[in-house]
Amino acid sequence: MKKLAVIYITTVLILLLVTGCRKFLDLQPQSEISDPTYWQTKKDFQLAANWFYANTLDDPNYNDNMSDISFGTGVDAVSSGTNVAPEQDGNWDNAYRDIRNANKLILQGENASIKEQIAAYLGEGYFFRAYDYFKLVRLFGGVPLINKVLLPSDPEVYEARAARAVVIDSILSDLDRAIGYLPAKPDAETGRICKEAALALKARICLFEGTWRKYHGAGDADVLLDEAVTASKKVIDSKAYSLYTGKGAESYRYLFIDQTSEDNPESIIAKKYRLNINPNGFIYGVSWGNLNPTKKIADMYLCADGLPIGKSSLFKGYDSCRSEYYNRDPRMTQSLILPAKSIIRPQYDTYRPQWPGVDNNRNINSGYMLYKFISEVPTPGPNATGPFDWNVLRYAEVLLIYAEARFERNGAISDADLDLSVNALRDRVNMPHLTNALVNQNGLDMRTEIRRERTVELAFEGFRWDDLRRWKTAETELPQSVLSIKVTGTQWSLKTITIDGSSYASKFYNSPANQLENGFKLLQPGSQRSFNAQKNYLLPLPTKQVSLNDQLEQNPGW
């Protein structure tokens, strides 16, 4: 904890340094450090590297609203196919800001007389440059590749887009350098990037790009899938991380709210939050309905026998508000609130029954309410926050990467590899193992089941939209109607609902026909959603950048 506090304090100090000195020196841009007076000591490099932890790592997000498993407080333009090219884009601007800072750290580090002493910080420079370029490729495809410090007069300021494959090669090269410089986890400073974290990021990137190439017909996928298997297996074999099991059967829920990342064996890369320094307001947004689960995700949770709801005799249907939750994967009730369950919610300090879809004071109108991330610490006040870290990359994802990459590379996966990966996650929640026999005997599809496991385990953590795009299924999944609970002929259709002695007036009583589809609550009709496969797999470049740079070509269709 002491080392972690040092990172926070020194990050604040460097931000003060680079913004406060301008008034007196007035010689450097506000966001820069004066090179002639800096880069002299190990502490200088440490301070420079600290900047990335506060500014580059992803914050908690509502990205799953861009997919089919979550619906926010209103219609999402990206998932609806109605987004337009913006003049500016923070993803683009911030990534190149960070890349510029990484370029400076790398330049100074590679030429430092104390290079051996600052090797870990140099490795972080390579790591974060790769992290930002992957963000750009993931969203926009090929982008200008600028791996050196530029002056405003340099012609590379107006660089054309490099081919997607070239940028990916550069990213992987940076990560290999980072792996070479970074210490292994046991030797790394608490809270900092280590060798195994760089391997985990490499595995993520190789799976993303390998499956993108496989399903979009964009080059040799096998090499990248092999790299994803190798990198993820190295992380597994290192035993540097393990699944969080500190709360027994409830461990899945509590891994997001019970532990800070330095105490959580599952956390590989985390964005740090502390109440008195930079509190996490995500729990407040979630409690107000910024991430509302949909029927799509609710139906994906398996029954307790390991079978989908359409194949299991254990599925209890939709007759009551709670019936669909019975005999299901425990991650369902640890991710979605069981109707009328009493919990502590942000802004309150007492337990109260929760009624998804009938709370008129909040934007929870789907009939499903997110439980994942909701704190049990009393947080009264108008803007409730929490101290919980955000897991940017956790060990569960590494296990899922290994399973998917194995299957996508070979078209099959052994039970031994399933036990090493998917079934380790199922063991945590006491679910039956996924096996080849189970798949064959029940008419299942192994690829579908591996993807289901990934979606369920990582639900609402911001992966689904990217997954649909890399699998090239967004064109079929996103244009569909967004549905939630079953209303017609169920307890939800009653004027008053009573469970466990608590009663509420149902928001869905006398629902108009145009708010239902096949008896299910209609959040957005498919007629209002579209996906152009020639256009929507990539986001548009910000128009201001295109107009400033004649060499910068806009993405197709935009």
pLDDT tens profile 50-89: 999 989 998 788 899 999 999 988 788 999 999 999 999 9
Question: Looking at residue 8, what is its pLDDT?
Answer: 41
Burial grade of 291 (CB within 10 A; 0-12, 13-18, 19 or more): buried
Measured between alpha carbons, how far is 519 from 321 in angstroms, rounded to an integer? 14
CA atoms within 13 A on the CB side of 491: 19
Query: In 10 A of CB 255, how many CB atoms?
Result: 24
Q: Distance between CA 177 and CA 226 in Å, rounded?
A: 19
Q: In this structure, what token pair is assigned to residue 249?
A: 């059967």
Say whether pLDDT at 362 is over 80. Answer: no
**Mean pLDDT, rounded, for 427-441:** 99
Tokens 């256009």 correspond to 535
pLDDT higher than 80, residue 27: no
pLDDT above 90 covers a percentage of the chain that reads 73
| Cα 403 to Cα 414: distance, rounded to the nearest angstrom | 10
Name the nearest CA neighbour of 56 among 1, 112, 136: 136
Structure confidence at residue 275 as a pLDDT band (50, 70, 90): low
pTM: 0.92
For the four alpha carbons of 304, 305, 309 and 312, in that order, the dihedral sign comes to: negative
Instruction: Please say if the pLDDT value at position 271 is more than 70.
Output: yes
For a pLDDT cut of 70, what percent of the chain falls above it?
85
Q: Is the pLDDT of residue 472 over 80?
A: yes
Is the model's pLDDT at 177 over the cut of 80? yes
- Average pLDDT across the chain, whole number: 89
Model confidence at 251: pLDDT above 60: yes
Lowest-confidence pick of 34-48, 182-196, 296-310, 429-443: 34-48
**pLDDT at residue 305 is higher than 80:** yes
Pair of tokens at residue 421: 């990966």
- Mark residue 59 as left, alpha or beta (left: phi above 0; alpha: psi -120 to 50; beta: remaining): beta
Q: What's the rounded mean pLDDT across residues 450-465? A: 98
Which string of b and e fits 68-101 if b means at least 16 CB within 10 Å?
A: bbbbbbeebebbbbeeeeeeebebbeebbebbbb
C-alpha to C-alpha distance for 248 and 348, rounded to whole angstroms: 27
Q: Beta 502-505 vs 520-524: how paired, if at all?
A: unpaired
CB 402, CB 232: distance < 8 Å: yes
Question: Hey, which residues does 280 pair with through a beta bridge?
Answer: 386
Report the 10 Å Cβ neighbour count for 496.
9
CA distance 436 to 338: 32
Return d(Cα 63, Cα 61) in angstroms, integer: 6
Over residues 519-525, the mean pLDDT reads: 95
**What's the confidence (pLDDT) of residue 21?**
27
pLDDT score for 33: 58
- ∠ CA 163-167-171 to the nearest 5 degrees? 170
- What is the rounded distance in angstroms from the CA atom of residue 274 to the CA atom of residue 286? 18
Task: Tell me the three state secondary structure of residue 432.
Answer: coil
Q: Report pLDDT for 267.
A: 95
Between the two ends of the chain, the Cα-to-Cα distance in Å is 48
pLDDT tens per residue across span 536-554: 999 999 999 999 999 999 9
pLDDT for residue 402 is more than 60: yes
Instruction: Read off the pLDDT of residues 106-147 as tens digits, 9 standing for 90 and up.
Output: 999 999 999 999 999 999 999 999 999 999 999 999 999 999
- For residue 34, pLDDT over 70 is answered with no
- Length of the chain in residues, anyone? 558
What was the pLDDT predicted at 5? 37
Going by C-alpha positions, the residue among 524, 525, 491 that lies closest to residue 508 is: 491
Q: What is the mean pLDDT of residues 522-539?
A: 96
What pLDDT sits at residue 387? 67
Instruction: Please give, one letter per residue, the 3-state secondary structure of 485-534.
Output: EECCCCHHHCCEEEECCEEEECCCCCCCHHHEECCEEEEECHHHCCCCCC
Who's near 513: CB < 8 A, 6+ residues apart? none
- Reported as a pLDDT band with limits 50, 70 and 90, residue 379 is low
Mean pLDDT of 376-403: 80
Q: If you search the block for the tokens 């599809």, which residue do you land on?
A: 445
Residue 169: pLDDT over 60: yes
Residue 520 has pLDDT above 80, yes or no: yes
Q: DSSP label at 485? A: E
User: What does the pLDDT average to over 452-466?
Assistant: 98
> What is the DSSP secondary structure assignment for residue 303, as one 8-state letter?
B
> Span 210-218, mean pLDDT?
97
Looking at residue 247, what DSSP letter applies?
T
pLDDT at 436 over 50: yes
Whether 186 and 265 have beta carbons less than 8 Å apart is answered as no
Per-residue pLDDT band at 516 (split at 50, 70, 90): very high
User: CA–CA distance from 119 to each of 115, 133, 231 (Å)?
Assistant: 6, 21, 21
Question: Which tokens hold the place of 322?
Answer: 């709670």
Is the pLDDT at 46 greater than 80? The verdict is: yes
Residue 380 pLDDT > 50 = no
Query: Bridge partners of 134?
Result: none
